[in-house]
Amino acid sequence: MGTYLRIALIIVSVTLTGLVLLQAKGGTLGGMFGGDGSIYQTRRGVEKSVFNMTVAFSVIFLTLAILTVGK
């Protein structure tokens, strides 16, 4: 069972990395570090879905990491 948890953790981590990179793609260098031009916008459509998936995969990743350490 430990092997399945590790494989699932790798798959979730790669997916989570991709989702984070999708979100950061639209950000400028100054915006990534809190510089000028950061205007608050509401998330809509695909951007909101990607954000929600990122949160869900983060929770799954944390759960799998805790379960893997316990094994």
| Mean pLDDT of the residues in the chain | 82
pLDDT digits (tens, 9 = 90+) for 36-64: 555 666 777 888 888 899 999 999 999 99
Domain ranges of the chain: 2-26+45-70
How many angstroms from the chain centroid is the CA of residue 40?
20
Q: Give the three-class secondary structure for 68.
A: helix
Instruction: Decide if pLDDT at 31 tops 90.
Output: no
CA–CA dist 15, 57 (Å, integer): 8
Residues 23, 50 contacting (CB under 8 angstroms): yes
CA–CA dist 20, 34 (Å, integer): 17
Q: State in Å, rounded, how far the first CA of the chain is from the last one.
A: 9
